[in-house]
Structure 1
Amino acid sequence: MSMMDAGRQQAGAGGARTASAEGMSSTAEGAGWVLFAGIMMAVVSVLNIIYGIAAIGNSSFFVADQKYILSDLNTWGWVTVAIGGIQMIAAFSIWNGRTFGRWLGIIMAAASAIAALLSIPAYPFWSLAIFAIDIMIIYGLAAYGGQRNPV
C-alpha cells in the first residue's frame, strides 16, 4: 500500500484531514533547502573568515601584485572577516527558524557574493566557488525560507 492510498483510507474512514503525498514532499523539500542554506551559510562563514585572516596576513597563496577595484588585499581581508562573522550569526538564526535569520542570510549571502566578485583578482577560483555557494543560499532562503519551524 502506498502512502497516497493510506492517506485516502484514513481520510475516508474517519473523515480526518491528512496531508497528501504531494504536500509532504513539498514541505520536506523546502525544509531541506532551508537546512542546506543554513549549513552552507556556516561553511561559507568559516571559509570567509579563513580567507580574511590569510588576506590580512598577506599570505603567499594570493596572486601577487594585483590591482583591486576598491582598496587593497588587507582591506578585503577585514571586510571578509566581518562578513564571515555576521554570516555565522545568520546561520544560527536560520537554524532557529527565525524570519530575521532568513533576511539576514539573504543580505549576507548577497554581500558575500559581491565581495567575492570584487576580490577575484586575489584568488579567482576561490572567489567563484564562494559566489556559487552564495547564490544557492539566496535561492534556498528566498524560495523556501518562509517557514517558521526550526530546522
Structure 2
Amino acid sequence: MASTPHGTPLTATPSATDRELAARRSAFPSGWVLFAAVTLFMSGGMTIVFGFAAVLNDKVVTVGGSGGPAIWDLTAWGWVGIVTGIVMVLTGIGLALQMGVARWAAVGFVTLHAILMFPVASAFPIVAIVVIALDVVILYELTVAWGSA
C-alpha cells in the first residue's frame, strides 16, 4: 500500500475538503474567461459610445475632404454599433456568469464585430484599431484553453 511520508495512505477518493475546494473553483470563472468577459464588456461599451456619437451628430464623425468615410450613412452605422455593443455587453455578462452558450456567442459576435470595424477605420482609425485589437485578444482568451475553462 502506497503512503505519503507522513504515513497517511493515498486514496483515489477525494476528501470532503477537496470536493468543496473543487466546487468553489468551478463556481468562479477561470482567469481567461473572466478577463475575456471584462474585455468584451469594455469593447461593447466603446462600440456603444461610438454608435451614440454617430447617431447624435454624424457631422462630428465624418472625415475631412471630399471623399468622406467608407460608410455612406454614419447615422445608420451608429445604430448598428449601438445594437452590436449592447449584445457584446450582454454576452460579456453571460461569460462572467459562465453560461455555456455565451462562449459560443462571444466567439461569433467578436469575430463579426472585428470585421464590421474595418469600414469605421476611415472615420476613426485609432478607435477602430484599438477595438479590433481588443476583439483579437478576446478571441484568443476564449479559444486558448477551450477545454479547461
* Interval containing the TM-score (normalised by the shorter chain): 0.7 to 0.9
Q: 1:15 aligns with which of 10, 15, 19?
A: 10
Find the counterpart in structure 2 of residue 109 from structure 1: 110
Partner of residue 69, structure 2 = 67
2:86 aligned partner: 85
| Paired residues of 1:99 and 1:146 also in contact (CA < 8 A) | no
Find the aligned partners of 1:50 and 1:59 in 2 and give their Cα distance. Answer: 16
Aligned residue pairs total 131
Q: Deviations over 1:14-50 (max 9, x none)?
A: 314589xxxxxxx9xx921111100001101110000
Structure 1 stretches of 5 or more lacking a match? Answer: 1-7, 20-26
2:95 aligned residue? 94
Residue aligned with 2:8, SS = helix
Give, as a single letter, the amino acid of the residue that structure 1 aligns with 2:41. A
Higher helix share: 1
Determine which structure has more spread, i.e. the larger CA radius of gyration.
Answer: 2
The structure-2 alpha-carbon separation of the partners of 1:103 and 1:63, relative to structure 1 and needing over 3 Å to count, comes to same
Residue identity matched to 1:42: F
How large is the Cα RMSD of the aligned pairs? 2.9
| Aligned residue in 2 for 1:53 | 52
Gaps of 5+ in 2: 19-25
Would the alpha carbon gap of residues 108 and 14 (structure 1) be closer, same or farther in structure 2, given more than 3 Å must change? same
Identity %: 24
Q: TM-score, normalised by structure 2?
A: 0.75
Relative to the length of structure 1, the TM-score reads 0.74
